[in-house]
Amino acid sequence: MVGVPDILQAQRGHVIAPAGCGKTELIAKTIVQAEGKPVLVLTHTTAGVAALRQRLHRDGVPASNYRLNTIAGWALTIISMFPERAGYLHDPQNAPNYTAVQNAVGGLCASGAINSEIAATYSRVLVDEYQDCSVSQHLITSGLANAIPTVVFGDPMQAIFGFGGDPLPDWTKQVVPTFPELGRLDIPWRWNNACANDLGAWLLAVRGALEAGQTIDLRTLPSRVAWHPLGADQNANAAAQIALQYDIAKTNPRETILIIGDSMQAVSRHNFASRARGVGVVEPVDLRDVVGDANQMDGKSGQELLDACIGFLIKVMTNVYGDKLNGRVQSILGNRNRTPPTAPEVAATSLVQGGGYIEAVQFLKAMAGDRDRRVYRQSAFNIMVQALQIAMTTPGSSLPAAIAGLREQRRHAGRVIPPKAVGSTLLLKGLEADHVVILDADRPGNAMSKEHLYVALTRGARSVSVFSRSPTLP
């Protein structure tokens, strides 16, 4: 076990932090007890920064005690302050080359050229989620450790992110020699606090087995863990998965559920949400497909804009039936309709008759308000409506630019997760719920690795349900 005194007394080191064992609590307590200058707290994503900030605020940690940033964000700040010393000039008008920026700042920190400035600004460095650090980010942290005390927190069993040309450092050969182990967190607080001590103990044992390269047999599980075999009939599999989710929600109406689907096939996760009423989709921060639809709508009007709106709605809403809707619009315009137009049909007709973004917003809202339809990707729908409203009220603003601005706001504010949400391990890592349902743990061609499996299993505080073909994983 490791505590605050161990961290405050260390010049450099790392803490092994299994999922749900109180890592964020330990970081918060360390910041509170650290004396002198602010603590520099770094992590990887803006969503992670938002989550840490919310937790520190909730725990009453004074903002003056710390400076919180992403590693990439902090590197951009340093490169703007010391471009000559770093030998790298970043043009703020252009998108940053983060790997190049981080390599330059890493070299600067390693050189000792800004040691005095670092020591004059911060008392120490704490880095969260270190298993997701890239080689260039590890270079930065290693350099900072030469100037002020530096402790990193991570779990190599949760290393599921990759950085393309900037890979993860080898934990044993690169991280441990630079930051010796200070200790391990070994109390499964997430499960103990949920009165699920047996599940927490089992998950710690599972972590040890997976780390040792062993498999786990889902037929020998505690009562809170259930294995559901998948068969050859895909429709039957989907029906069983949806039925289980409904059963959990009905039995535990006030508790949250995370549903973990295929990490490579977003469409499969969207299909689940479209069929399972009440389940929302956790969207990736880049909202790539929404940006693509915004590009299709940009500058359009009339029929072209209606077609682009329908193409977007098909991806986020049930029962769109675009061809049928277009047929009804033409009948209404030709006075051939035998039944009065519905609200969505009125809005679509208005849009076809030379309408622009104002009419597009009215159409999207009318479709969402129709009782025969359901928006299952609510955040994607909302951001498109907001972007259209911004584009139509801000002179010179394009729809893609409006989407990009809203996307950046989301990055810094963090995501709102529905009570019942479907996503992938990459999207749900760091989140927790009362229950987790893993839809396809051993899909041929994309079976979960031991790291993805461990991350998935540890999302649920009260129960874990696993669908797979084999009872032995990974």
* Percent of the chain whose predicted confidence (pLDDT) is above 90: 79
The residue with greater pLDDT, 426 or 21, is: 21
Range 194-211 average pLDDT: 95
Q: Is the confidence at residue 92, as pLDDT, over 80?
A: no
> Which range (97-106, 136-145, 396-405) has the least confidence?
396-405
> Which range (29-38, 39-48, 109-118, 419-428) has the least confidence?
39-48
The pLDDT score that the predictor gives to residue 1 is 82
Range 316-339 average pLDDT: 93
Q: Is the confidence at residue 233, as pLDDT, over 90?
A: yes
Q: Is the confidence at residue 26, as pLDDT, over 90?
A: yes
Peptide bond into 474 cis (omega under 30): yes
The pLDDT score that the predictor gives to residue 133 is 92
Q: Which pLDDT tens digit goes with each residue over 151-179?
A: 999 999 999 887 678 899 999 999 999 99
Measured CA to CA in angstroms, residue 166 lies from 77, 89, 108, 113 at distances of 20, 20, 18, 24
The pLDDT score that the predictor gives to residue 163 is 65
* 152 Cβ contact list (under 8 Å, min separation 6): 13, 14, 15, 126, 127, 130, 133, 141, 175, 179
Q: Is the confidence at residue 323, as pLDDT, over 80?
A: yes
Q: Which pLDDT tens digit goes with each residue over 65-79?
A: 999 999 999 999 999
Pairwise CA distance, residues 234 & 240, whole Å: 10
The residue with greater pLDDT, 263 or 24, is: 24
The pLDDT score that the predictor gives to residue 203 is 96
Pairwise CA distance, residues 27 & 376, whole Å: 36
Q: Which pLDDT tens digit goes with each residue over 329-367?
A: 999 999 898 899 999 999 999 999 999 999 999 999 999
Range 116-137 average pLDDT: 95
pLDDT, mean over the chain: 93
Structure token digits, residue 58: 């909730």
- pLDDT band for 446, please (50, 70, 90 cuts): confident
171 φψ region: left (φ > 0), alpha (ψ -120 to 50), beta (else): alpha
Measured CA to CA in angstroms, residue 72 lies from 32, 138, 420 at distances of 25, 12, 32
Q: Which pLDDT tens digit goes with each residue over 240-249?
A: 999 999 999 9
Give bridge partners of residue 375 from the DSSP assignment. Answer: 317
Range 266-295 average pLDDT: 92
- Length of the chain, please? 474
Pairwise CA distance, residues 23 & 336, whole Å: 66
The pLDDT score that the predictor gives to residue 125 is 98
